[in-house]
Structure 1
Amino acid sequence: MKFASFPFLFLVCFCSWGQKDKKIDSAVIAKYKTKVIQYINPKPDSALYYIKKSFKVAQKSSYQKGIADTEYLYAQYFRRTQQTDSALYYFQSSARRSENEKYNIGAAIAYNGLCRNLYLLSKFKDAEFACDKALLNINNEDELSYMTKADTYTALGTIYKQQDFIKKAQMYFLKVDSMHIKKSLRPDVIAAAYQNLGNIYLGFDDFNLAESYYVKANNQFEKLPAAAAEYYMSTNNVELGKLYFKQQKLNLADSILTQSQKFFFKIKDLSNAAEIGTTLGLIKLKKNKIEEAETHFTESFEFYKEFKFNLQAATNALELAKLSLLKNSLQKALSWSQVGIQLNKSINNSIIKKDLAFVLADIYIQLGEHEKANNFNEIGYKIKDSLSQIQIAETIKEIEGKYQTEQRDEEIKSLKAENELAQQQKKNQRNLLVAGLGFTTLAGIFLFLLFRNRQKTNKKLKELDTAKSNFFANISHEFRTPLTLILNPIDAAIADPSLSDNKREQFIVAKRNSDRLLSLVNQLLDLSKIDAGQLKLHIQKGNIQNIISGLAESFKYSAEQHNISYKLNIEKRKEESWFDKDALEKIVVNLLSNAMKYTPKDGDITFNSVIENNTLLLRVKNTGVGFTKSELENIFMRFYQTDAQNEGTGIGLALVKELVELHKGTINVDSESKEWVCFSVSLPIDENSFKDEEFINATANITSSYKVPLMEESEVIDDEFEASHKPILLIVEDNNDVRSLLKQNFESDYNILTASNGQIGIDLAIERVPDIIISDIMMPVKDGVFLTKTLKNNELTSHIPIILLTAKAGDKNELEGIEIGADDYLTKPFSSKILKAKVSNLIAIRHKLQSRYSQEIVLTPKDIAVTNLEEQFLNKVQQVLETKLIESSFNVENFSKAVGMSRMQLHRKIKALTGLSASEFVRSQRLKLAAQLLKTSDINISQVGYSVGFNDHSYFAKCFKDTYKCTPTEYAKKHESS
């Protein structure tokens, strides 16, 4: 087990944030670090949020020790998320900064982290050197220094164990155990040593001793906070699974490892998941499930190979070679063996070398090449003899026995000393009793104050946690909302037939640039594809120089604004080339943006683009402050910035380099005179440079950017709505400009109500009962989700169709919107035409339902209700009508009181369901009842009107004729025969 969880992380509370240190709010930073500890293993992205907060506090006060500590936390985050290069950079930066500040314990901790990161990459010499540096910086005997020393011994033991120096590894792990006996170590530190000792004894098939150490490790892990305990005990379960496998308890091993792997996949700890995959492969092989075994080995190999964990990758290559040999796939077995040999060159692991030699011997025997088989057999046995495993195992036992004896001797001495002290302690106890009572009183007061303060702190931390969640959700929202405001007015302007050709051309350019901006936003949100290895080339044919020219021209205005001399030398070509348009755009735009950012006023930028021998050569040169040799070496490193005060994220040039290499090209930077910087890019653009699967059928075009002015806020509630026959549309949107845009799009066909947040929207919907609602999801006070749930669960408003607008793209978010009761869902930036069509369709569906309801002879709620709440409302109406309809005094006022609504609310609800006003609905129901009586009863026709609630026969006859196109008498005669 690599112990990838990094037990040392619990040392992040190490910082000596003293009271004299530049008035830094140490309590806030300590709380941030507590959150980092809580989240780093189960939720690393949450930990990153608090790391950034901590860094801002330290940087604001220019407190170098605090910055060094936070760089260490950044390194931990990148290590946890398998971004090893970034982790190395931050460990090194933290160590250097700490040494410059003579902050010895900070340097020791950073070097410890660097050591662990390096041995995962199988860079054992460098890792050993880093651990030695950590120990050199420990020059105190305080608790933190003691813990750091113990944890560094564990790291050194792991280094030697991975190189098969078992005796030396065991010595360091037992040193940690001795330190624990002398002075208790923190649970995660001593547990790491126990776990590694268990691994050593498992390697020599001493199952009882191995299990005893694993149990010891779990006993320590149980003392940690719940989330951390679950994580670390899961790492220990991996070792127990290996133990059960070796004991041939295959089902038990399979069960515990499968469960642990699910846990690690859930928290995206792919390193531990891959390690489990290797053991599961061995288990499946034992169960003769060959295909499942091959899948596990292959998945683990691919992970380890990608992240350069050569030892583990070589181990899986070895297992795949054995498996291929078992399947009689000799060439495949030979190929996997060669892969294993290449990977093992950098680590020179004797056991892997020995096993590969024996596998190759078996392969060549089956291929009939006996001379080669004999050679590899000879190599294998030589390595096996040199290892002297039996002798090593006996030595290990001897060390363990000696250690146990020394431990017992120490315990005897300790007991004697304790006995001598016992008598003296009795005398002291009397004196301490009085002092203890006073101290207890003071401690009680102190604990009460501490408890109250902790409650306040916990409340603040919950608020910070909520703020963090909102922050990540708002990123997408804040990108897409402005794009909506850009695209809609442009579309409207282009569609205007009165627009001049010159103006239309300008808007087409703006449209093209806006589309490109949207494309860049989407690419920004998908940057993780690079790390996941999911970013693929999309090669297409086009005039590459025309596209480059268009991109370069878009920077002219910026150059003029900053008084920069901007020279373009772009070779004109008619021939088309093969390239990835998106990759090319990002390369050119990032390089030119970088040049614009760092070129001073009155400076110079030169951009050259030529094609030679089917290769595109780009050159961006700008004046300004050049780079040092050290800066040039790190300039393409992700998150690297030459000056911490510079704007940006430090990923632009790193992204350029990755895209250039993805495009089979190269990039170089030169800055000899320290007065200028020059980036040179070489990209192949011929068809033969790319694989078949990298081509797409498309022609490349050009895009750019544009910004529109903001509109004034508009809030409209029309009191004359009832006089209009237009449907009422309620728009709920917190952004003034989007709200105004929506109002302008719909006001010609709808009466508009607007609300600036979800709560106002709910209040307006209940008061005015609109025909349809368009609502944003992310809003202050109450959001669109709350609005939808509230209105869909309110009898008065449950029938109202709701369309949700959101900046969060993806099927999952759309499904969430539909599941909470929304009738439709649209992602920003949206098309006005599509939104209008959706609104119109939902209104049309409502009209069809109204038509059906209005034709019902009597209300039958279960047949006509769309939702349970509508059925509930119609049942209530039915009950009222059954008891009150025939009363001549029954009117709309009585009706509204009977169903618990205002007159207007009842009117809007009935209108929405049937298309009739409340009074028309009552009259309609009375006429339907009269028609029923005329068909089925012998009652006198003159009495029918009075029987159903009309108090004027003439008025009844008129209404009946208007509805049924005949008098009551004629209607009765028509239905006599039936």
Structure 2
Amino acid sequence: MNAHNQKNKYAVIFICWLILCVNQTTARNINEDASAANVNKPAEHELLKTDSSYHHISYQYRDNYYGEPLKAIEYLQKKRVHFEYPTEQAYFTDQIKLIELFFKTEQYAQAENILGPLAIEFKNKLQFHPKLALVKAHLMLHNRNIDDFLETLQPYVSVYQKAGNESFNACYLFLLGAYEIRKNQFSNAFTHLTSGLENAKGLGITHLEIEIRNQLVQLFYYTQRYEKALNLNEEIIDIARANDDRYSETLALSNKMNLYYSRAVYLANSMPGEDVANNPIYRSYIKKSRQLQKQVYQLAKEIGAYRTMIKALILKQSHSFGDNNFQQAIIAGKEISEIARQFGFDYENAVASNNTAIAYRALGEYDKSIQALAVAEKSYLEMDNLQSLTWIYDDYARTYEESGNFEKALAYFKKFHDASMKFSQKTNNETLLELQEKYAANERSQEILRLTQKSALNTQQLETEKMGRWLLSVILMAVFLIALTLFHKRKRLKRLLKNEAALNQKITEANAAKQRFFANISHEFRTALTLSIGPLKKLIAEPNYSKNPFIESALENNLHMMTLINEVLHIEKIGAKTLPMQITKINLRMAINHCLNRFLLQFKEKRINICQHGFDESIYFYFDPSHLEKIVANILSNAAKYCLGDCTIELSVKVEQERINLEICDDGPGIDEAELPHIFERFYQGKSSSDQTLPGTGIGLSMVKELVELHQGSVKMCSQVGKGCCVTISFKRGKSHYPQQLIVDARSQHETTPRIAANDRKLPIPQNLKRHPTPLSRNAGHTNELLDNQHRKVILVVDDNPQIRLLIKSILQPEFHVVEADNGKQGLELAETIQPDLLITDVMMPLMNGFQLTEHLREHPQLSHLSIILLTALSETEQRVHGLVLGADDYITKPFDNEELKARVKGHLAQKQRLSKLLLKKYQSGLEKQQLSQTFEGQDSKRSKQLEKLIAKNLSQCEFDVEQMYTAMNMTRSSLYRYTQKHYGCSPKHLLKVRRLEIAYQMLTDLQGTISEVAYAVGYQSLSAFSRAFREHFNHPPTQVKQQYSNEPKVEV
């Protein structure tokens, strides 16, 4: 490469570096308190009257801060001299604006002249220091003196990041990102700049948004993502034009000019040895760069943006080098030097002088080239710019070499080499220093933390010792008086405690007796109602039932009796403060509609209209759903009861900041004003309730009030006779007024609710039992019954009430074989004997209750697999949860629905059947190959393999019999019988039975599921039938096999 091309490359490097010298602006003003300013200056309104030029400038500044920065500077300078500032805050704000405008117009020396005295003036005003630090750091970036940049901002980082200081934070992130670009930390710079951009956009600080975008353009340029840089630059131009900000527009056009030139240089360097000048893309980039250079030069000259004007001229020098028009490059250099000397742009003057030296050398004017290099060298030495000095020394060497002065050329080549080594060493040292500083800072932080902790510990120990001595003195002085006082009070306290303990014992015994009484009476009532409601429902459900109003009335009255019992029990629990609560998030609209659905038929019959107002889908609050239903249902029930017909019930909601108010109003007969104070008292009955035609219990509204107050709410009623009633319920919003243990997740509030299985299909009777009944004998009837029972599921019902057992038996037979026991102890003995498929038990029984029975069954090694349903009158959540925790599979409350009971029984059995089939498939998939190889080793009979595969596939199907076997094998019954006799020595039916029992034995030894699951998995419908067949075949029961192998340690191979 010749000297001309080499220097042209250096000129390009200078242009690319100059792209980074973009104006910076800081965030807007801070708002702090300040004291009064100089009182000798006239007020601003007086100055506006006397100075017409000031008046004109002030409005120009106010109307167009960005578009007329020079006029704004003139306005602020005059204001500084003539205006009486009311506070030092206002004065400080205007001076910061003036510095920012000097930044914008590239007058950095003037900005520094303002900043220095301002920092001294406000040295003792700490509230202004964070803003001054930002402006000082900004000036450091412009002056390229960033050694102390981080130290300047570090003391105020917490202030910048504090909530409420978003404008400070945006400006801080902008400056930090600009600093990191200069340190080549592009990843961190991008993160900080994008965060700052979001903040600036959110705050509407347009000039800061433009500056951050400018920095992102430089970042994309550095990382050679030119397309992104150009697109972002176009956005800056649009924003600047929209705000009539010609300075920002000119700067963005300057960036665009340099970006196109840089793309051209990048393309030229990537195509060595080719004719780049004729490349259409290269020529396009150069053309756009030339057009933009002229536009930028003209705009910068018009608005006085002299630094940007110099950039355009430097690029003009580079274009002149490309055109070999060195004279034009010299002329441009002289113009640059003149502007730079006038405005103090030393670095730009050095760059232009270096380019001028290259042009002189190309023209052979070596003395002038040396003179231009000397000017550039002097500036770089003053700035201690080692990298630029290496380029200068290289140019010296080449100029002397071309002029024939080889001695000086050699000397400067040595200087060039030494400077390059120093620059490389400096770069490495800076990197090492940064690492050392990070390590030292970390060490210092740890040491400071350790010393701080030690100091705090020492201080705490001193304070503790001091406090201890003081307390010891006080205690010693007070001990004598306290001892005397305690001596006299001790006897009295003992007497009071003894009386209180006796009283508490009596109260506890009374409460326990009352609770036992209510539990027992509830059990008896529910049992009686179950025996009444169950048969009535069964009678009404009969196909040949003819409508009988007396039977239906009896059923309705029984259900009403159950409602009354529940209300009395709830009132008692509220009074005893034992009513359970499960607080969850409720949608008010859905909850009210759910309650209304219960009364739709009644409202329709009485011609009552319902109107709802203000119910929004978004209204949620925390409440117990069951309690809310009782509250609303009681109020609606009263309204429906006393409204005679053609009435309207209005429900409305008003949402306040802390409460939700629900109003339920009707236009019925109303209530006398004298009765309103007593309407929520327990057992109080007004005149209407005393009427024989509208009887009441007097506990409904009392329960409403107590339930609402239990949730920290309130309820009130207003009424006028003949105009109706209005009940207002006020609910608290939020959940802070509830204890945390009462709040449950809405998704899990029904976890303890028993589930009704959907699959209740009746399993068919095996075909082989239909075709091959046992021979008749004198015990034929009993034998057939046993056989039938053998293939039906066995249900064990345990209840001390024989009528309940009879009712359940009538519901479940003939689909199931029902065995009865009248207490828990007898039920446990029967379960051990018959091994039922499912057990239904009452809770309250003599000898052994249902909870104890459940616990014994779950601990029993042979019966732990049984499905258990608890059937009881104890309907509270705690009791249901207790039963389920002990191991019950389901919990049904008396009085129960006949069909629901049957559905739950079928569901549990069907679920166990499905699990068993899944268990068998899983077991067979791992055992299939081994079984086939063991069974047919040495045989080549395809038919035997087909038969074994058929049996294994249908092993879990209880319907699979000999007929399906020979049909699937394409054989007749007799041919299949002869084949199995020949190859297996038994009948097909016996072969199927043996295979089932063998698989069952292997599953039990491998601990694959419970005994009942294994039985169902191999096609047995009854657990007792499986146990009997297993014992006959293996001479010991399945429980023995299960227990034997579960106790043996497993050995992994």
- With the length of structure 2 as denominator, give the TM-score of the two structures: 0.32
CA radius of gyration, larger in? 2
